[in-house]
Structure 1
Amino acid sequence: MRAVFVDASETLAEVARRLSRPGDPPLTIHADPNTVPEDLPRLLAGAEVALIDHTALPLSVARACAGLKHVVFLGTGARSYMDPEALEAELGVQVHLIRGYGDTAVAECAFALMWAAAKGLACMDGAMRAGHWLRTDGIQLTGKTVGLIGFGGIGAEMARLCAGIGMRVIAWNRTPRTHPGVDFVDLDTLLADSDVVSLHLLLTDETRGFLSAERIAQLKPGALLVNTARGALLDEAALAQALREGRLAGAGLDVFVEEPLPGGHPFAGLPTVTLSAHSAFRTPEASDNLIGAALDHCRRIAAGG
């Protein structure tokens, strides 16, 4: 059995080399994060396993990857890049996900974006670099209510961090949950009562567009929105309009419908938006967890598991 890491950054390539063990299935590392789908049939020629970080794998391309049986997707958001159910049903290709590797890293980024948006740091930073002394009025977060939409591992970590600074934590989850110090409420209550709303849902067919224009309109006036999950969970045009009109105080966004963020995107022109480049999960600790889990998948597949 041979595996190919098709789109490794230099950082992840180094981690893969470091964590590989003697006797592991052969792994070819293609250290080019700019891999495009059309490259995959050539890169995967004769390989049974593809490790994919962020390259799309449409069915038309997968059909041309002779011998491909498994995809190890580096994360949980495979549906942003491929159709796992169709790959298995039509081609017999199983897609394996990696969960939990970066829960703390992503929650820390969401926490940081919340603070940056509350204090207007990106706006002041940009103005000062341009030679202007701009001071904005910030929002005090202690004593405020944060609403978490989706409550898995990342949501639990975000709850821990927010409770630690004296915020009230409420949450809504698609399936019933309980957690110490967290009040679970219905979605309408969360949208109306939260001073900060933070998205922590997986992207599925059911959650795509979840935070619609109608739900954005339900947000508490002056609220902040944080998204470190997936850009397609929300209506970007409706969010931009709410920010432009001042109905929302700000947003901290790490993910977008189109990535990299295209030039001229409305978010880039809004001073109340703090932007980061889908980097929430990029820490050395999370990278080690991620690649270690991917290599474990390869070992299990090679062993027939």
Structure 2
Amino acid sequence: MKIAVLDGAVLNPGDVDWAPLKALGALTVYDETSGEELAERARGVDVLLVNKTALRRQDLDKLDGVRLVGVLATGYNTVDIEGLAERKIPVCNVVAYGVDDVAQHALALLLELCRHTSLHTRSVKNGDWEKSGQWCYWKRTPLCLRGLTMGVIGFGSIGRRVGELAHAFGMSVLAQCRVPKNPPTYTPFAFAGLEQVLACSDVISLHCPLTPETRGLINAQTLAKMRHGAILLNTARGPLVDEAAAAEALKSGRLRGLGTDVLSREPPAPGNPLLSAPNTLITPHMAWATAKARQNIIDLMAENIRRWQQGAPINVVNGVCKA
């Protein structure tokens, strides 16, 4: 069996192990693949693995002979799963590979927005403490999380872990999801509709998938329904947020702060309004990037391929059960 990874550079810059995939067949790893290179690199390949390389409908004729497509991520919006289904090619992804990693990143953004540790570290290193003549000072008043309400939009494995971490900091938790079930045992907790989460939360953390229904979920109208001075976190998908509307809310003070690991376009265009918005933290889509999580992706994809070989595929996202 021949396996090709079309864009392995970001997933594995050399600190994790391809061995689980190598054990299944002849593995070829490309750092990146352009549209012009796709046909040649897919030729004769049985299993084609991608992370963010797009496989659009117009690309599918180039996949002659491919029997399985694997997405080395949870999100698969860059792959035309319907078009591949029409060709009877299953598409599988990996899930729950970095639950703690992404949840911790969301809380890291929140803590920085509340405690301003980087701001004050820079201030001290610039000599402000020496000049102050005081035993302490602060440039922005810190905010304590205990007693505040965390609103979690999307209550899958990552959203649930964010709720647990928020609870550990003494926050109440409200969760909005499509099908409320299996409420956690900690209190105070409640499932709620979107309107209630927006109106009653001091912090809102996004953990829902990007779908036509959730695109632009946070916009001028929904921002207006949020508590004045709320904090918004996004470690899910950039297009969930109308960035121009969020930037205006930050400038007006309606949003106290924004912490995001994702943008609508990655890397961002120079004119992205969040790049100049106040009280904004932006990290480069790295919440998932611990070595442990990236090794999990490889291990889980290897298991996907093994199960597909055995005729019992798992994590199939386009309904095709056989190659």
* TM score, norm. by length of structure 2: 0.86
Contact 1:232 1:256 in 2 (8 A): yes
| Counterpart among 85, 90, 101 of residue 88 in structure 1 | 85
- Residue in 2 that maps onto 1:156: 160
Contact 1:172 1:185 in 2 (8 A): yes
Distance 2:235 2:124 in 1: 27
- Residue in 1 that maps onto 2:320: none
Q: Show CA shifts across 1:249-302 (max 9, x none).
A: 001000111001222321111230011111111112211211101111222233
The alignment status of 1:142 with 2:146, answered yes or no, reads yes
Contact 2:244 2:274 in 1 (8 A): no
Q: Show CA shifts across 1:91-118 (max 9, x none).
A: 3332111111111110000111111122
Q: Show CA shifts across 1:138-185 (max 9, x none).
A: 222121111000101001111111111111111111112222222111
1:126-137 matches, cutoff 5 A: 133=128, 135-137=139-141
The letter of the residue matching 2:91 is V
| Counterpart among 259, 270, 274 of residue 277 in structure 2 | 270
- Residue in 1 that maps onto 2:68: 70
Contact 1:103 1:154 in 2 (8 A): yes
5+ residue gaps in structure 1?
none
Count of paired positions: 299
More divergent stretch after superposition (206-215 vs 288-297): 206-215
Contact 2:174 2:191 in 1 (8 A): yes
The letter of the residue matching 1:116 is E
The letter of the residue matching 1:299 is R
SS, match of residue 64 in structure 1: helix
Distance 2:117 2:157 in 1: 28
- Residue in 2 that maps onto 1:256: 263
Cα 1:53–1:127 shift into 2, 3 Å? farther
SS, match of residue 183 in structure 1: strand
Cα 1:13–1:40 shift into 2, 3 Å? farther
Contact 1:3 1:298 in 2 (8 A): no
5+ residue gaps in structure 2?
129-137, 313-323
- Residue in 1 that maps onto 2:97: 101
Contact 1:118 1:224 in 2 (8 A): no
Cα 1:127–1:57 shift into 2, 3 Å? farther
The letter of the residue matching 1:87 is L
Contact 2:219 2:242 in 1 (8 A): yes
RMSD: 2.1
Identity %: 34
* TM score, norm. by length of structure 1: 0.90
